[in-house]
C-alpha cells in the first residue's frame, strides 16, 4: 500500500518535530533548533513529492483518460498550483 509508506514517513516526521519541541523546552542552542526545523522541512518535501507521484499515477491518469474535460482541466490546474506553492515554501 502506497499510503502506508506516506503514513509511516509522516509519523517519523511527527516524532522529529516532537524532538524539536523538546530541544526548545530544554533551551537548546538556537542555530541547532533552526537546523532541525530545516531537516523536518526537507523530510516534508520528500513526502509531498511522494504523494504527488502517487497522485500522478492514479487520479491524474484517470482524469486525463476520462471524458470529462472540466475534471481534466481541474486536475492539471491543481498540479500547477502545488508546483507554484512548492517554489514559495
Residues in the site for its own copies, rule: CB under 8 A? 3, 6-7, 10-11, 13-14, 17-18, 20-21, 24-25, 27, 30-31, 33-35, 37-38, 40-42, 44-49, 51-57, 59-61, 64-65, 72, 76-80, 82-89
Would you state the cell numbers that stand for residue 79, as one nine-digit string? 498540479
Q: Are residues 52 and 82 in contact, defined by beta-carbon separation less than 8 angstroms?
A: yes
| Cα gap 77→34, rounded to integer Å | 34
Shortest distance (Å) from residue 70 CB to its own copies: 14
Shortest distance (Å) from residue 2 CB to its own copies: 10
| Cα gap 57→49, rounded to integer Å | 12
Helix (H, G, I), strand (E, B) or coil at 12: helix
Shortest distance (Å) from residue 88 CB to its own copies: 5
Amino acid at each position: 500500500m502506497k499510503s502506508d509508506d506516506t503514513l509511516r514517513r509522516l509519523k517519523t516526521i511527527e516524532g522529529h518535530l516532537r524532538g524539536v519541541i523538546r530541544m526548545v523546552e530544554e533551551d537548546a542552542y538556537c542555530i541547532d533548533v533552526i537546523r532541525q526545523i530545516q531537516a523536518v522541512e526537507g523530510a516534508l518535501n520528500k513526502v509531498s513529492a511522494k504523494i504527488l507521484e502517487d497522485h500522478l499515477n492514479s487520479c491524474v491518469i484517470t482524469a486525463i483518460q476520462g471524458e470529462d474535460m472540466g475534471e481534466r482541466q481541474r486536475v492539471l490546474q491543481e498540479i500547477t498550483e502545488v508546483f507554484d506553492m512548492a517554489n514559495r515554501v
